[in-house]
Amino acid sequence: MRVLFLALFVLSSDALASKSLHFKLTYKRQPIELAGKHFRHNRKDWGVVTDGMNIGTPVQSSLFVLDTTSADYEVTLCPNTDPAPIVGGWPSCFHAMNSTTFRRISESVGSDIMMDDNSTFLIRKFPTFHMGKLGIGRHGAATPGLTPYRWDRLCKKAMAFWVGLDWCMSEMECGGIELCHENSNTIFVNSTSDRYWQIPINGIALGTYNAVVRGQAVIDTNTDYIGMPKKYLKIFTQTYGISWDGLYGAYTVECNATKNLPELNFKVVGGELTIRPGQYTYWQRPLDYCVTFNITSGMMGFTKNYRHENGGCGRIN
């Protein structure tokens, strides 16, 4: 069986300068959970995009989740007497007392030196422990009075993301969009929110079924799943014999049935964004788009992905 993959243009990341940054403080050291999932749900059917970060002096390294729904940075502090649990080779919390450059601004805000430990690669990880989150949302998603909106510091207020194959490198370009090779076929869509990277959806096409809709889609790197109104989901699942598996906690389909499933098309101003059956059933990766974010204009660009699965890991066809 294959679980239906709902990955709406999931993203990736590049380098931060080495400087002292403000961030939210948290003490909760719990794994990121996909709410409502049964213990039988294969965790490989869901992941988050993470970036390796160095923080503090001397450096402590761990993974941070890239979050398009927030504009704040968040760091989990270790209790003074409790060592950081190591999960998959990465510590799950920050020993602030061991850093000579850490400063507590308030009960909920701290400051320390942070920078990428690798300026090119990102990692798609299972929902296990992480040290924190890196907010890459729009300016309205920053918590007022706590952490500043850092993208205003970029020379060019834009970024670009490409997510690679399973366990292969992904990339993010901060301060530019050259990574995606925008061209005359790029689909540009204006964000309709100052908080989220949100785009208007004018229609959904599932095989022979077409619906005119007036809705919004939020780009969320905290989940691999695509949400849609129940009435469209019901038509889709009934038409193509897709059933809900209560134990698994997801809609599932037999592997040999994927060849009979249709493309899923989201109609936007300027074109259609297509997710192929092999992608929404966790069968193939990556998606077909390299995504750019223009912070100044609030516009997103979707360009056909030149780094395709037939080209190998990170190789341009």
Q: Single out the residue of 260, 267, 198 nearest to residue 232, CA to CA.
A: 267
Q: Kindly compute the dihedral angle of the four CA atoms of residues 30, 32, 34, 38, in this order, to the nearest 10 degrees.
A: -40
State whether 36 and 139 are in the same domain.
yes
Q: What is the pLDDT of residue 14?
A: 36
State whether 20 and 133 are in the same domain.
yes
Using 50, 70 and 90 to split pLDDT, how confident is the model at 164? low
Residue 179 lies in a domain: no
State whether 47 and 124 are in the same domain.
yes
> pLDDT tens across 257-314, in order?
888 899 999 999 989 999 888 778 866 666 678 899 998 899 999 998 765 444 444 4
Q: What is the pLDDT of residue 82?
A: 63
More confident residue, 313 or 121: 121
State whether 229 and 271 are in the same domain.
yes
Residues above pLDDT 90, as percent of the chain: 22
Q: Is pLDDT above 90 for 171?
A: no
Q: What is the pLDDT of residue 118?
A: 54
Using 50, 70 and 90 to split pLDDT, how confident is the model at 37? low
Residue 302 lies in a domain: no
Please give the Cα distance from 217 to 201 (Å, whole number): 7
Q: What is the pLDDT of residue 86?
A: 66
Using 50, 70 and 90 to split pLDDT, how confident is the model at 140? confident
State whether 140 and 237 are in the same domain.
no
The tokens for 258 are: 């994927």
Count of structural domains, the chain: 2
State whether 20 and 97 are in the same domain.
yes
State whether 204 and 252 are in the same domain.
yes
State whether 205 and 149 are in the same domain.
no
278: CATH: 2.40.70.10
∠ CA 58-62-64 to the nearest 5 degrees?
125
Q: What is the pLDDT of residue 313?
A: 44
Please give the Cα distance from 255 to 268 (Å, whole number): 30
Using H for helix, E for strand and C for coil, what is the string for the chain? CEECCCCCCCCCCCCCCCEEEEEEEECCCCCCCCCCCCCCCCHHHCCEEEEEEEECCCCEEEEEEEECCCCCEEEEECCCCCCCCEECCEECCECHHHCCCCEECCCCEEEEEEEECCCCCEEEECCCCCCEEEECCCHHHCCCCCCCCHHHHCCCCEEEEECCCCCCCEEEEECCCHHHCCCCCCEEEECCCCCCCEEEEEEEEECCEEEEEEEEEECCCCCCCCCCCHHHHHHHHHHCCCEEECCCCEEEECHHHHHHCCCEEEEECCEEEEECHHHHCCCCCCCCEEEEEECCCCEEEEEECCCCHHHCCCCCC
Q: Is pLDDT above 90 for 201?
A: yes
The domain of 142 spans: 7-173
The answer to whether 286 and 163 are in contact (CB under 8 A) is: yes
Residue 308 lies in a domain: no
From 102-111, 137-146, 181-190, the region with the lowest mean pLDDT: 137-146
Q: What is the pLDDT of residue 127?
A: 54
Which range is most confident: 125-129, 132-136, 137-141, 196-200? 196-200
More confident residue, 215 or 116: 215
State whether 166 and 200 are in the same domain.
no
pTM > 0.95: no
